[in-house]
Every structure is written in C-alpha cells, then in structure tokens.
Amino acid sequence: MTSHTELYVAVQQFYAQQMHKLDRRELKAYADTFTEDGVFGHLNGPEPTRTRAAILEFLYEYHKRFETDPMQRRHHFSMIDVRQRDDGSISSNLYSSVFITRPGRKSELAASCTLEDILVWEEGQLLTKSRLIQIDADL
Amino acid sequence: MTSHTELYVAVQQFYAQQMHKLDRRELKAYADTFTEDGVFGHLNGPEPTRTRAAILEFLYEYHKRFETDPMQRRHHFSMIDVRQRDDGSISSNLYSSVFITRPGRKSELAASCTLEDILVWEEGQLLTKSRLIQIDADL
Amino acid sequence: MTSHTELYVAVQQFYAQQMHKLDRRELKAYADTFTEDGVFGHLNGPEPTRTRAAILEFLYEYHKRFETDPMQRRHHFSMIDVRQRDDGSISSNLYSSVFITRPGRKSELAASCTLEDILVWEEGQLLTKSRLIQIDADL
C-alpha cells in the first residue's frame, strides 16, 4: 500500500516526465502516458476524445498549427490536490499554466487552466485514465 | 513524529486545497483553514487582521471588487521552504504568483509575492496560524 | 539509502532555499550551494564557468546590471524530474520561470528556461555539481 506521501511525490514525478514529453513534442511517448481506454477533453467542450490511439491522432492534428507558428510550449502544473479513491484510482485536481516562447521573442503566459485527472497504476507505473481541462478564459 | 518528507508533502497538499477554496471564492471554507486566533496581513502594511472571524469579514469586503470586475484568480505557490520549529509549529516561506483571467481575455500575471506562513497541527489537520504577505511591487 | 520519495522532497526543499538566496542577492550563500568544482553555464552558450570561486565572481559581475536597473527577481522551479544515478549523483531536469518586478511596476515573466542539474550529497547536504541552462528564447 502506497502512503499519501509516496503517492503525492509519484504524481509529481509522473507529471514532470509526462509534460516534458509533450513540450518536446514526443507525441507518441506522451500518448503512451494515457491508458489504452484513456479520455482527454475539455469541460464545457465537445465530447472528449476516447482511447490512446484517438488521443494520439488528435495530438498530431493539433500540433500541425506549430508548423506555421513555431513556439516552445512549457506546461507548468501546480497546486496539486491528490486523493486516493476507493476503487484504487487517484483523483488529481490541479492548476496548469502554459508559457510559450516564439523564437527570439519574449516569453508569455498563454493560458491558465484547471485540470481534473484520474490516474491509475498499471504494472507499477502511473497512467492518466482521464484528463478534463477547463481553460479560465472560457469561464 | 512526522518526518520532514511527510511534512513537506502535507504542506503542499494543504496549500492546494486551501488555495483552490480561495480561488473558487469559498470564503468561509478558506477562512476555516486558519486557526481561531489566526493572523493575516501584509508586511510593511497596516496592522494585520486577527481571528478567523475578522479574516472572513475582511475577505467578504475584499471580494466585493470582483462583482464589478469579474475575473478568475489562480494562486500558485512554489519554492516552499518548510521548517519544523521547536514549539511544534511549522514555518513555511514561499513564493506566490497570482494569475488572473477576465472572461474571454488573455490571462495575465497580476502579482508576484512572498509569503511567511506559520502552520500548526490541530486534530491531525494543518491550519494557518499566521500569513504575512509581501508584494514585490511594494518593495 | 534514501528512497525516491525522500530524495524528491529533499530536492524541492534544497531548490527553495537555494533560489531564495539568489533572489535575495545573497550571492556568496548562493555560490556555496555549488560544489567546490561546480559548473554553471548555458547550453549552446560559451564555455561554462567552473569552480565555486569562479561562479561567485561571475555572479558579482552579472548582478552589477541590477544597480542601474533595480528589480526583484523570483526564480520558480517546477516539473522537476529527479533520477538517482548509478554513481550516487542525482540528475534533475526541470523548468525555471523567472518573474521580475521593477519598483511600483507590474510583475512580468522575464524568461522561460529548462535546467539540467547534477546534484550530489556532501556531508548530508545536497549541492549543485553542475547546472546547465537553456533559455527558450534562444531555441
């Protein structure tokens, strides 16, 4: 049984590795941090994307915009509220800030968001089973 | 006896829940994260507010401004220096950045601050006994 | 033997104290968080600075700019990926955001960076053996 202390740190370490992958545009490696039946979407948005394969397809499509508008994104997660759930999964509610830097330009705050994650252990590894994003500008 | 590792994570978890409450404007729930005799104020400012009841009153007053200027605030705490003190209380010195988003507008960095907190355990729960804020723009 | 949980928290606590020193311009105290043979530099930049004494000299030189352009800097580290290495040292890859505030002015995001740190234990204390910075605007 993992203590809350161990779990909290495992979640922080998982998020660091997960978001480094996304920000390096290792889209396949990022998609692999979701479960096979993983869910990704926006609160108050269209139906979320379901399954790891569909998430990867969505990511390829989404990242096309960076071909004509090159930028380095950095996702910063903070204020992580981690709770063990009775079914063995983990709820993780947190803030995400996205900083972007276009080549030779000043860095800027691109978005302030909240995330509602459900994480699960699979073979000793944390994976994201569900991630629902709320962008503050949409509130 | 709590190890420094357990304490550090407990403080992070406490701050996440505490500031989510403030940013959701659950002012009563936020005030309840202070001790009955809790202190809240600004370094180099007027006399700090004392007692949980007075802090709640201050919060209601302060939040009136958001009725005419609606915005979503997000308090991000980071670089937390947690130290056990001899009297059993905990000193926690940290950075706080406040991001705000007005409806449909770009998110912005509203303030960069330092916080000097004294935390205490009451019935197995962390509470804020004292919070003194220094806003960088006032330096 | 330190568990990953204990190590991760020790690194967070170390970074908080280390960067508070830099942001308070306690340059000698900050330089002392590096090993005697410590390395500090920029990826894709000139040769890094080597030895604690040379890092301190570099810091004194660099901080002269703040005499004519006073500002409060705040280094925020996040998304820390901490890994124990076989030789007993620790690799720590993370994001650093630098917020600055000039007196009476609005705070701003000055830089978004990645850091590649190698940390080591010396007499029960973490120290930075090597820090290589990549500024996103230089990508």
Q: Which chain B positions have a beta carbon within 8 Å of A94's beta carbon?
A: 16
What is the average pLDDT across C77-98? 98
Q: From chain A, pick out residues whose CB is under 8 angstroms from the CB of B6.
A: 3, 5
pLDDT of C2 reads: 80
The pLDDT assigned to A1 comes to: 56
Distance CA A9, CA B8 (A): 10
pLDDT digits (tens, 9 = 90+) for A9-23: 999 999 999 999 999
Q: Is the pLDDT of residue B82 over 80?
A: yes
Taking any CB pair shorter than 8 Å as contact, residues of chain C touching chain B are 5-6, 9-10, 12-13, 15-17, 19-20, 72, 74-78, 99, 101, 103-109
Interface of C with A (CB under 8 A): 3-5, 8-9, 76, 78-82, 93-95, 97, 109-112, 136-137, 139
Taking residues B71-90, report their average pLDDT: 97
Residue B9's closest chain C neighbor by CA? Answer: C9
Q: What is the model's pLDDT at position B1?
A: 55
Closest residue to A12, CB basis, from C3, C8, C109: C8
Is C109's CB within 8 Å of A109's CB?
yes
Backbone angles phi, psi at C55, to 5 degrees: -65, -40
Is it the case that residue C87 has pLDDT exceeding 80? yes
Separation of alpha carbons B63 and B25, rounded Å: 8
Question: Do the Cβ atoms of A30 and A18 come closer than 8 Å?
Answer: yes
Mean pLDDT of chain B: 96
Q: How confident is the model at residue B138 (pLDDT cuts 50, 70, 90)?
A: confident
B1-33 residue pLDDT tens: 589 999 999 999 999 999 999 999 999 999 999
Contact A109 C112 (CB under 8 A): no
Beta carbons within 8 Å of A51's beta carbon, 6+ residues apart: A36, A37, A38
pLDDT above 60 for A5: yes
Phi, psi of A54, rounded to the nearest 5 degrees? -70, -35
Contact (CB<8Å) C112/A101 = yes
Of all residues in chain A, the percent with pLDDT exceeding 70 is 99
Residue A139 pLDDT > 80: no
Q: Which residues of A touch B (CB under 8 A)?
A: 3-5, 8-9, 76, 78-82, 93-95, 97, 109-112, 136-137, 139
Interface of B with C (CB under 8 A): 3-5, 8-9, 76, 78-82, 93-95, 97, 109-112, 136-137, 139
In the chain, the amino acid numbered A66 is F
Q: Are A56 and A28 in contact (CB under 8 A)?
A: yes
Write the pLDDT tens digit of every residue in A55-96: 999 999 999 999 999 999 999 999 999 999 999 999 999 999
Residue A35 C-alpha, separation from nearest chain B C-alpha, in angstroms: 25
Closest CA of chain B from C87, distance in Å: 24
| pLDDT value, residue C1 | 55
State mean pLDDT over B100-115: 96
Q: Which residues of C touch B82 (CB under 8 A)?
A: 13
CB pairs under 8 A between A and C: 66
Q: Is the pLDDT of residue A138 over 90?
A: no
Backbone angles phi, psi at B113, to 5 degrees: -135, 165
CA distance C24 to chain A (A): 23
pLDDT in tens, C25-80: 999 999 999 999 999 999 878 899 999 999 999 999 999 999 999 999 999 999 99
Q: Which residues contact C108 (CB under 8 A, 6 or more apart)?
A: B109, C99, C100, C101
Does the pTM of the predicted model rise above 0.90? yes
Q: What is the mean pLDDT of chain C?
A: 96
To 10 degrees, what angle do helices B4-23 and A4-23 make?
A: 70
ipTM at complex level: 0.96
